[in-house]
Structures are given as C-alpha cells and as structure tokens.
Amino acid sequence: MPPRNALLEIDEFGRGYPRPQLVRNDWLSLNGEWEFAIDRADAWHRPADVTWSSRIRVPFAPEVPAGGINDTSFFRTCWYRRSVPIARPADGSRLRLHFGAVDYEATVWANGQLLGTHQGGYTPFSFDVTDCLSGGPLEIIVRADDDPQDLTKPRGKQDWQLEPHSIWYPRTSGIWQTVWLETLPSTWIESLRWTPNLERWEISIEARLAGIRREGLRLRVHLTSANGTIADDTYTVINEEVHRRIALSDPGIDDYRNELLWSPEKPTLVQAELQLWGERGELIDAIGSYTALRAVATQRDRFVLNNRPYPLRLVLDQGYWPEGGQTAPDDRALRADVELAKRMGFNGVRKHQKIEDPRFLYWADVLGLLVWGEMPSAYRFTPQSVDRVMNEWKAAVGRDYSHPCIMAWVPINESWGVPNLPDNPAERHYVQALYHLTHTLDPTRPVIGNDGWESVATDIVGIHDYDHDPERIARRYHADQEIPRIFRRERPGGRLLVIEGERHAELPIVLSEFGGIALSAEGGAWGYSRAAAPDDFGRRYEALMRAVHSIGIFTGFCYTQFIDTYQEANGLLYADRRPKIPIERIARATRGLDLPPSAVEPPESRQAQALAEEAGRA
C-alpha cells in the first residue's frame, strides 16, 4: 500500500502528488525544463513543422516570469517537447501520461503517435503511452491552442485585451499544472468517489476499474481514523464497478460522534486504503485515499454544517502569484495560503473564477477550510459557449466531488456570459439548466446558479454590494421582517437581486462580495474604494465588518479580497502575502469580536457625528 505520508511527498520542484485522493507510489513528475516554441500565426499543425526556439519551466505558463518566457503578447498557439528516458513495462503494466491542466485545447503526441486532444483549460486529462514505447526514450510533444480573444470559452479572469485592465489579468496559455507519468497494473482502479451520510452514519464508495476485464475480482476497503480501524470490508467487483454504502458503528453520544466529524475547527479525515485482489489471491492494485464525515446543506434561511447553523466567514481568493500567475510557486505556497486565510479569521474561501489545483483542496481538507467552488466564466452567450461551459463544468464537479472542503458550487458569476438575463428567456433557461445539472452531478451540496444579482435558480442568494459606507450597508439590509421588500427595492450595482419567484425570501442570504478597499501608493492601482494609509485601511475594514456582523439576515459573507492581484490592489495582503495591517487586527474584525467604536468608525463617520453634535448644541 502507499505509505501514510504519500500525499506529503513532493517532487524535486517542491510539488506534491498531483491527485491527492487517488494516490499510487509509482509515479514520475515531468515538471521542469521542456523545449518550447510560440506559433503566433497558428501556422504549425504537426510536430515536424515546429522550429524549437526556447526552453520553458513547466508547469509555469509562458506569460509569467517563473516559466522563463514571460511573453504577455497575443499568440494563438504554443508547443512543448520533452524526451523522457523510460523503459516499457515488462510485466503487462501500463504507462499513463497525466496533465493537471492545459489551457485551452491540447493535442498530444508520443514518439510520433497522435494520442488525442482535450478541450478545457482547467480540468485534467490523460493518455496511455505504453504502446508508443519501443526500446528508446519517450518523446512527448504538446500543442496548446488558446485564442487570446475568444470570449466563448471559459476563461475566468484572463484578459482579452493586450494589457490587463480593471479586474482582469494576464492570460494563461499552455501547461500550467503538473505533468506526470504513472505506472498502472493491467487492471487498475480508474476512479474513486466518496459520499458521506450523517443521517445513516455511513460513507458511500463508488470505485470504477479499467484495463483488462477479469472475473473474480475483489476490492478491500480499509478505513481508519485517529483511534484506529473504523471499517475493513471486501466487496466483489461486478461489471468493473463497486458501489457500496459502508455503515459505521454509531457512537450515539454527540461528544463521541463529533470526534469523527470534519469541520474547519476540527478537520478530522478518514484515511482509506484500497486493495484490488485477483481470484487466485494475488494483489493487483493498491491506492491510498481519504474522505471525511461531514454534511453541508441549507435549512430555511441558514447554511448548516453537520446539521448545525454555521456562519460563513469567507474571503475572495483568486489564486494568483506574482511570479507564477495561476500556478503556485510550490506546495508550500498552497499550504501557506490556507493557513493565512485561517489566521485572518476566515473559515472559508471563495475560489473566484478559477478551478484550483487539487493540492490546494488537499490542504484545505487537511487544515480545515471551506471552499466555494466556482466555474471560470465565458463572456458570450452562444451555442458554442454553452457547450464549452457545460462540458468543463461537468469535469470540474467530477474532479472535486469527494473533497470534504467543497461546500457549494457556483456555475455563473454576476451574469457573466448571460448579459441579458432579465429579458432573455433562453439565458434564464441556461442558468436554470446549469443549476439542475449541478444538482444532478452532486445532490449533496448547495448550488448558487448566478452569484451576485439577478438570481434565477439558487439555494443561496448571493449579493454583491461594494458600497464603502458601513452605515448605508447596515441600513440597506437591516430588515429581518422585510426580506421580500429588500429583493424588490435594492439594486446594488444597478442590478435586480432576484428575477422571479417568492421562494428567495426563504433562502439563506450571503453577502458574497463586498469591501474591496485598496491601499496602494501607485496611482494605477485599482479598487472599489481607497484608504490613505494602513491605519485608515484597518479602520475601514473594521467598520465594514462590524456593520456586516450586525445584519441578522446574512448567513455569512465573503470579503473582497485575499491578496492584491496585479493592478487590483484591494487585498488584505499584498501580492507577496505580506499583511497590510497586523493579522491579529484583521482576525478580530473578521470574527466580529468587540471593538471600541473609535476603532471601527471611518473618519468621515466620526466627522459627520461631530458636526451633528455641534449642530445640536447650536
């Protein structure tokens, strides 16, 4: 079996095992230096056409400094080549080539043979390369096609203009997550899906096999917690699948039950070891995994975790680094971001317009941080964009389904890609279709069909309101008995909050974007409001947090944002992760701890109060 610390093993470039919930020991990272070429005119279509002109450090994109290319101009296509000295397995095993993510359409060759293509810049794919080996090294060539101005593909925050503007950033082309080789037995465990159920106190497993079909296969599932074995069962494989509900021994008393439950405050994981056995008693495949006992849902106007109301304190996290763009420098950087969010008093992050590296989700699982999963947007409503978004969204939900940290799904943000939502029935049907599709793929989590405004189909009403005045924010939403009136009257950003139906009045409400206070001496920096100095920044943040914590209709909030991101300088931290004010001060305000009025009122509020008092005396 894989050792218990297999997930903690890193490659020579500081990156951990790239698929943390299906771990094998026999893998080889292909991160590092590759040959590289940019085809600006998209004139090369076969490997023989390419003129190899430079070298790039994978998995960093050609647009960022860490990759060594640092070319932010417009180009349509780029090419990669690497030769790997590796022998063909002699025992019938298979060799599989994996890509974490390549933006946007990848075509892959191995030793001159076309392996296939993959479309979607944020989701993984793989190819069997065994039959391409014939005694020499394995030459891998990748063509990445990524039209920089195509608005019908899911592109998230990648700018379609030459220079980043407003809230959009440099593009990400080509390989931007780990590439690796893995040795598989001739029959192997292809996929794994975990579903906890607290009502029945059980964990469901869905395992699917691939490779040579065999009769008489059995799958052993060994689950352990800190106190030892909690299940050790063996199941007969039927039609290359195992679907079983593993009933656990219910300890009965809440104190004992809570010891096994996962939460940000106590992220208890259940370790899993799976062994695939043949009919003659031979061990065929062995993997390591993990899951957790936890439940997320909505009950009337509250979000609930493990059947208890749970106030959400989220921060908007766009997942960029100064040198690496959307690619973290290494595994330590991903872990550090989770730790920083927790230190600032947040119990979750909204991963905004990005399907994040699975290693971030791993650290969120291990350290305890809720993650709001969101689909990167396309910006046009066409049959092609609908097809692209739906296909990639299905793959994203499937990839991340088993992570305990994922608490909700967001297929659409701020009507991006559906610009005429109130007036166009087809666009509304599309949002509704995405909402129901997501629930079909994952019936265990809340879904926010369109976050921010113009809500059509949702389990949580998300509101984006960047009013910088905490008193106005408090007045606007301080109406426990008047929620339907708020939905009809208030239009933050000039947008309707909901489009149709009275059901929204009974749903949880999350202030899912607010704040955006910029602190920067640079005149070109962008933010929703601006603080003059660090102490002014701190007072403004504290005043906003005090106002939001006082509003009873909110089941949670998401502050914009975690770090400064390129020209958008409204982070709580600078881009290099240095805090703008002491982290302890941020954490107290985030958690809603009592603060003296002088510390939470912005200067203009104190000035207004002083003028009012003076007028009263007169």
587 has a pLDDT exceeding 70: yes
Return the domain boundaries, the chain: 6-184, 187-291, 296-608
Please tell me which residue, 477 or 547, carries the higher pLDDT value.
Answer: 547
3 state DSSP class of 68: coil
3 state DSSP class of 190: strand
Give the range among 44-58, 312-326, 471-485, 510-524 with minimum mean pLDDT.
Answer: 471-485
Q: Nearest-CA neighbor of 119 among 140, 102, 141, 99?
A: 102
552 has a pLDDT exceeding 50: yes
Answer whether 6-184 and 296-608 agree in fold: no
616 has a pLDDT exceeding 50: no
Band (441; pLDDT cuts 50, 70, 90): very high
Q: Tell me what the mean pLDDT of segment 9-21 comes to.
A: 86
Give the range among 13-17, 184-188, 355-359, 433-437 with minimum mean pLDDT.
Answer: 13-17
pLDDT at position 5 is: 54
Which residues, in sequence order, are bridge partners of residue 197? 202
pLDDT above 70 covers what percent of the chain?
89
Cis peptide before 567 (omega within 30 of 0): no
Q: Please answer whether residues 366 and 332 qualify as being in contact, where contact means their C-beta atoms are separated by less than 8 angstroms.
A: no
What span, in angstroms and rounded, lies between the C-alpha atoms of 36 and 80?
Answer: 5
**Token pair of 399 as six digits:** 């990839």
pLDDT at position 614 is: 40
Give the range among 95-104, 267-276, 330-339, 469-478 with minimum mean pLDDT.
Answer: 469-478
Q: What is the pLDDT of residues 560-582, one digit of tens each?
A: 999 999 999 999 999 999 999 99
Q: Tell me what the mean pLDDT of segment 187-196 comes to.
A: 97
Please tell me which residue, 339 or 500, carries the higher pLDDT value.
Answer: 339
Question: What are residue 308's phi and psi, to 5 degrees?
Answer: -130, 140
> What kind of fold does domain 187-291 have according to CATH?
Immunoglobulin-like (2.60.40)
pLDDT at position 91 is: 86
406 has a pLDDT exceeding 50: yes
pLDDT at position 314 is: 98
Q: Domain 6-184 has what CATH class? A: mainly beta
Q: Nearest-CA neighbor of 99 among 84, 83, 119, 113?
A: 119
pLDDT at position 252 is: 72
464 has a pLDDT exceeding 60: yes
609 has a pLDDT exceeding 50: no
113 has a pLDDT exceeding 80: yes
Q: What is the mean pLDDT of the chain?
A: 91
Q: Tell me what the mean pLDDT of segment 76-84 comes to.
A: 97
C-alpha angle 542/548/551, rounded to 5°? 145
What span, in angstroms and rounded, lies between the C-alpha atoms of 496 and 509?
Answer: 15
**Superfamily name and number for 296-608:** Glycosidases (3.20.20.80)
**Which residue in this structure is represented by tokens 């763009």?**
325
Band (187; pLDDT cuts 50, 70, 90): very high
* 26 CB-near residues (< 8 Å, 6+ apart): 182, 183
- HSE (CB half, 13 Å, CA atoms) of 606? 11
Length of the chain: 618
pLDDT at position 523 is: 61
Question: What are residue 447's phi and psi, to 5 degrees?
Answer: -130, 130
Q: Please answer whether residues 445 and 411 qualify as being in contact, where contact means their C-beta atoms are separated by less than 8 angstroms.
A: no
Please tell me which residue, 601 or 202, carries the higher pLDDT value.
Answer: 202
What span, in angstroms and rounded, lies between the C-alpha atoms of 258 and 401?
Answer: 23
pLDDT at position 134 is: 86
283 has a pLDDT exceeding 60: yes
Give the single-character DSSP code of 572: S
pLDDT at position 467 is: 95
Q: What pTM does this model have?
A: 0.92
pLDDT at position 607 is: 42
Q: What is the pLDDT of residues 371-402, one digit of tens each?
A: 999 999 999 999 999 999 999 999 999 999 99
pLDDT at position 251 is: 76
Give the range among 188-192, 423-427, 486-490 with minimum mean pLDDT.
Answer: 486-490
**Token pair of 301 as six digits:** 């106007």
Question: What are residue 119's phi and psi, to 5 degrees?
Answer: -115, 135
pLDDT at position 534 is: 94
Dmax (CA) of the chain: 97
pLDDT at position 12 is: 78
3 state DSSP class of 447: strand
What span, in angstroms and rounded, lies between the C-alpha atoms of 358 and 582?
Answer: 30
Q: Tell me what the mean pLDDT of segment 431-441 comes to.
A: 98
Please tell me which residue, 483 or 409, carries the higher pLDDT value.
Answer: 409
* 344 CB-near residues (< 8 Å, 6+ apart): 315, 572, 579, 583, 586, 587, 590
Band (493; pLDDT cuts 50, 70, 90): low
Q: Tell me what the mean pLDDT of segment 304-330 comes to.
A: 97
